Homo-oligomer: A and B are copies of this chain.
């Protein structure tokens, strides 16, 4: 699979996970080429919470993220009224969901290592059960 189609496949996987709960609605933003406005990969919501999610799937032990990508996610979330999250899936480990504040600096950009994901990330069930980012149960 190309990098692009791998990304789309990851987004679709998450999309179905949210829909399958029966309690959340998930939208995949259209291909970025057509739209000049910054949008997260997924926008997910229910009556109480809205989540703006950037999705990453990697075979590597580290997922790098561009500073601009994170800034746009935060900006979008502020205006729309959503919680900004990074969803990262490492091979055979499944999905972890990280707050933007929990990312590690890597020069001008950011990085999520497997140990960081395990320490700071929420599992899918924790993400959808927690009352929002303020009540994010710290997993140190």
Interface positions of A (Cβ within 8 A of B): 15, 19, 23-31, 35, 37, 39, 43, 45-48, 50, 76, 78-82
Contacts and interface: CB of A to CB of B under 8 A. Distances in A.
Contacts of A82: 45
A27 B39 contact: yes
Chain B CB count within 10 A is highest, among A27, A46, A79, for: A27
A7 to B, nearest CB: 14
Nearest to A75: B25
Given A19-B37, A27-B27, 4 more contacts: A24-B79, A28-B30, A29-B30, A47-B81
A9 to B, nearest CB: 12
Ranked nearest first, the 9 interchain pairs of A and B with the lowest CB-CB distance are: A47-B81, A25-B80, A45-B80, A30-B30, A25-B79, A28-B30, A19-B37, A27-B29, A27-B39
A48 B48 CA distance: 12
A79 B37 contact: no
B79 A23 contact: yes
Contact of A43 (B23, B43, B47): B43
